[in-house]
Each structure stands twice: as C-alpha cells, then as structure tokens.
Amino acid sequence: MLEEIKKTADFIKARTENFTPEVGIILGTGLGDFADNIDERYSLDYKEIPGFPVSTVEGHKGRLIFGTIEGRRVVAMQGRFHYYEGYTMQQVTFPVRVMKLLGIEYLFVSNASGGINPTFRVGDLMIITDHINLMPNPLIGRNLSELGPRFPDMHNCYDRGLIAKATAIAEEANIKLQYGVYVGSTGPTFETQAEYRYFKSIGGDAAGMSTVPEVIVARHMSLPVFAVSVITNCGLSDEKGDHEDVQRQGRKAGVKMAELFVKLLKQL
C-alpha cells in the first residue's frame, strides 16, 4: 500500500510540476462549486490518476484541483469516495494518504448531512467537534508505521484552534454556526426514523455517510482537521430523504461554507 501511495504521489507531482499544496480540501455532495474560489493551476480527473478510485455519486465531479486561495496553496477533491460505492476503506481514504505525501499540513473536510439535533434547520452549518464511527475502521489491517502509530489517539481529532478561528470569523461575518457530533454510518440508505432516534440517544447531532474514515486516516498521520457539515435535511422530521434535494440545499448553503473556508485559509 505504501509503495502505491508513493507511486501515485510521484505521478501527481510530475503532472503538476512539483506543486506543493499546504492545505487539502475535501468537497462533499453539492459543495463542488467551492472550487470556483480556487485560482486554478492544475486539474486532474480521478480516472487519470494511478490508484485513484472513480467517484460514482451524482454531485461529485471527480477532479483533483490544484491552485491558490488567498495566497495559500491548496489541493481540492471535487468529489470523494464512499464505502457504500463498494470501495474498501483503504480505497476510500487513499487520497488523504496521497495528499499528505504531496505536502499538505492541514485537512479541511465538508459534507452534506441530516440534522438530528432538534434546534438545527436546513441550511445550517455545523462545525464538527467530534464523531461517532459506525463504519469499519480504515486502520484495520497491517499498520503503515511510516505514516503513523498502530494506536492513534482520537482525542480532539477536530482541531480546537481551527474551530476557535472559524468561530471568530463567523461572528465577524455574521455567519450562523452550529456545533456538534457527526455520526458516520455506511449508507447508502437514508436513515430510518428509529436510526435517527438511536443516533440522537448516543450523542449525535448530525448523520452522514462519509468524513469519519478520512478524519481517522488524517489523524493517523498527525494532520490537523477542520470539518463542516451542511445540514441538508432534518432527519427527525417527516420529510422524505431525497438526493437531489440534498444537492440543492448543499449548493445553497455552500456559499456560506465557502466564505468560512476562504477566510480561515487566510488566517492559517
């Protein structure tokens, strides 16, 4: 696996003239338009990159974009991979490993999620403060000691310093923020009402089908993480789960998320 990660990183370096990103950004469902904020230098389709899976979900364009935002060098994943697509957890998290070898020092993550907390409304931005993992752990198997320890600590896996900066930015920009625990489950079914009640009972504030594996692997490699959920539906209501509506709500709230990300990048 390590040799494959290095091979892919070397391929990307050759194609991008050794462009060294400082920040990796993962864009979730309906949030791909954030890439418009990037002063693009290079763009690679996932299908061009050795070892990369191909995103099969509507709303995930499947491109790796290199460029700058506010003078910061970034690499953005315009679309991610999910366990429910049939990929292994190692494949799902492979791009995070590669981005680390490309040079990133921070990882920003976004997703569309269902609100569990009754105070949340569609369109809210929730800063993820912690997570509950209900998926297979991506670190199961032989440990890559060159990348991280066998038993990585998940205490404060969402960086408190970055959360504090984002909070100050949001107050100044009049962006309403929620804070909470993200529950990661496999999907691809939207959760039942009973599952949402269970997630609430164990401490969840929002639920989705991504993010947690990427964060676990990032922390395995000691990358600071900042993550935001866009609340695209309220799980405990009577509304029906609909992927097209999730994309619409994601695009709408993505404007606020983009402002937050851009201003936070400037302050790193």
Beta bridge partners of 236: none
Q: Could you give the dihedral angle defined by the CA atoms of residues 252, 253, 256 and 258, in that order, rounded to the nearest 10 degrees?
A: -80
Q: How many CB atoms lie within 10 A of CB 149?
A: 11
Domains, the chain, ordered by start = 2-267 (3.40.50.1580)
Q: Which residues of 95-108 are buried (b: 16+ CB within 10 A; e: fewer)?
A: bbbbbbbbbbebbb
State the angle between helix axes of 243-267 and 160-173 in degrees (0 to 180), rounded to the nearest 10.
100
- Per-residue pLDDT in tens (0 to 9) along the chain, 268 residues: 899 999 999 999 999 999 999 999 999 866 768 888 999 999 999 999 999 987 766 555 789 999 999 999 999 999 899 999 999 999 999 999 999 999 999 999 999 999 999 999 888 999 999 999 999 999 999 999 999 999 999 999 999 999 999 999 999 999 999 999 999 999 999 889 999 999 999 999 999 999 999 999 999 999 999 999 999 887 666 566 555 655 666 566 778 889 999 999 999 9
Report pLDDT for 225. Answer: 98
pTM: 0.93
Report pLDDT for 61. Answer: 72
